Amino acid sequence: MIPLSRPDITKAEQAAVAAVLKTPFLSLGPRVPEFEQRFAQWTGSRFAVAVSSGTAGLHLCVHALGLLRGEEVVTTPFSFVASANVLLYEGARPVFVDIDEETLNLDVRAIEAAITSRARAILPVHVFGLPAEMGEVMRIARKHRLRVVEDACEAIGATYRGRKAGTIAESAVFAFYPNKQMTTGEGGMIVTNEKELHDLFRSLRNQGRPADGGWLEHPRMGYNYRLDEMSAALGVAQLKRLDGMLKLRSKVAERYHELLTEVPGLRTLGCPPQLTRSWFVYVVRLPQGTDRDRVMARLRGKGISCAKYFPCIHLQPYMRELGYREGQFPVCERVAKETLALPFHNRLAASDQAKVVRALKAALGR
């Protein structure tokens, strides 16, 4: 099979992880602070806090909002489920707004109509590595006195009007699952410029322990969301190569763009002016009315991995139980039926890309 994704691991990463295994520190050692310092520097943030996953990072950011049960957070229904689940963890209610037809991010024109007296925050997601319209998100947040948590889990290296994604809101989260632009296996990173939040996140990820307290002191309830030393060492090695890996991904995306011009009716992802996309996945939109399941079966029959990216969050079975229903967000629902992720990673060979496009063209032709 041509895999859907593949991490880019070299001897440098292998050596970094092996070096940790020769020390007595597999957790709470020197590699995590090093990773945090380097990551903060790379993003231009004052502080970075390493956590066990992007989901864990989002949860801590939402927890820090101090939401009461039933209070609301405006967000997108077109994302990985974690961006909505972390609101449910805290007893908050996700208030979804429909998405923009072109960017596939939340439609900022729909945000204000969704704000009620119980709204407390906005959680924009940089879907598929394209920054949301953060200028308008922040303007609306200031107008309505809402806080903002920036989900940059898919967008490391993307920029919004010259600023790096994840550096605009009061807190933001990046993720390092193996299909991301860089990986630590599992893992994530919170960034913020506010020391009070930084100190809170460090305590919350470590069972509520204080920074200067003893091992069994817990002034607050916390979580075991620590990142281990092996993962942090892997992250340091990956971060040193990140700029080069982002360039490799851009080249693979550009090659797909060129090849896919031969496929009638297919839509590829664009990028508005003054934004840069960081290529997380390569998603296309099939012509309306296409039997996507049949197309996917034909691709897999040719040894080509593919996936539906993303199903609507609000139509997941457990979300329907909360009262969300079909027809609420028509753009999202239409787009979710058309999107298809193709094989995409740093080292994807041109010959494999050509094979993917030939097979896709043949499947659509039938």
The three-state (H, E, C) secondary structure of 256-277, written as one string = HHHHHCCCCCCEECCCCCCEEC
- Predicted local confidence at residue 146, as pLDDT: 98
51 and 164 housed in the same domain:
yes
Residue 1 forms part of a structural domain: no
Pairing of strands 267-268, 119-123: unpaired
121 and 228 housed in the same domain:
yes
Full residue range of the structural domain in which residue 322 is found: 242-365
The string of pLDDT tens digits covering residues 198-226 is 999 999 999 999 988 788 999 999 999 99
Instruction: Identify the domain boundary among 238, 263, 280.
Output: 238
Residue 164 forms part of a structural domain: yes
Residue 22 forms part of a structural domain: yes
Name the band, by pLDDT with cuts 50, 70 and 90, for residue 171.
very high
- Predicted local confidence at residue 279, as pLDDT: 98
Residue 3 forms part of a structural domain: no
CATH code of the domain covering residue 347? 3.90.1150.10
146 and 252 housed in the same domain:
no
- Predicted local confidence at residue 11, as pLDDT: 98
Name the band, by pLDDT with cuts 50, 70 and 90, for residue 295.
very high
Q: Is the pTM of this model over 0.95?
A: yes
Where are the strands (E) in the chain, listed by range?
Answer: 47-51, 72-75, 93-96, 119-123, 147-151, 159-160, 163-164, 171-175, 188-192, 267-268, 275-276, 282-285, 339-342
Q: How far is CA 168 from CA 43, 51, 56, 71, 264, in A?
A: 11, 20, 20, 24, 38
- Predicted local confidence at residue 224, as pLDDT: 98
Residue 219 forms part of a structural domain: yes
How far is C-alpha 118 from the chain's CA centre? 26
254 and 224 housed in the same domain:
no
Q: Provide the number of structural domains found in the chain.
A: 2
348 and 248 housed in the same domain:
yes
Residue 6 forms part of a structural domain: no
Name the band, by pLDDT with cuts 50, 70 and 90, for residue 92.
very high
CATH code of the domain covering residue 23? 3.40.640.10
Residues 6+ apart with CB under 8 A from 37: 48
Share of the chain above pLDDT 70, in %: 100
The string of pLDDT tens digits covering residues 115-125 is 999 999 999 99
Give the chain's mean pLDDT.
97
170 and 80 housed in the same domain:
yes
Tell me the C-alpha distance between 35 and 14, whole Å. Answer: 16
The string of pLDDT tens digits covering residues 300-340 is 999 999 999 999 999 999 999 999 999 999 999 999 999 99
The string of pLDDT tens digits covering residues 101-137 is 999 999 999 999 999 999 999 999 999 999 999 999 9
58 and 138 housed in the same domain:
yes
**DSSP letters spanning 39-96:** HHHHHT-SEEEEES-HHHHHHHHHHTTTPPTT-EEEE-SSS-THHHHHHHHTT-EEEE
Instruction: Identify the domain boundary among 238, 264, 295.
Output: 238
- Predicted local confidence at residue 215, as pLDDT: 83
Question: Is pLDDT larger for residue 93 or for residue 213?
Answer: 93
Residue 4 forms part of a structural domain: no
220 and 358 housed in the same domain:
no
17 and 153 housed in the same domain:
yes
Residue 97 forms part of a structural domain: yes
100 and 224 housed in the same domain:
yes
The string of pLDDT tens digits covering residues 7-33 is 999 999 999 999 999 999 999 999 999
213 and 246 housed in the same domain:
no
Q: Report cis status (omega within 30 of 0) of the bond before 310.
A: yes
- Predicted local confidence at residue 262, as pLDDT: 85
Instruction: Identify the domain boundary among 238, 272, 306.
Output: 238
- Predicted local confidence at residue 366, as pLDDT: 65
277 and 181 housed in the same domain:
no
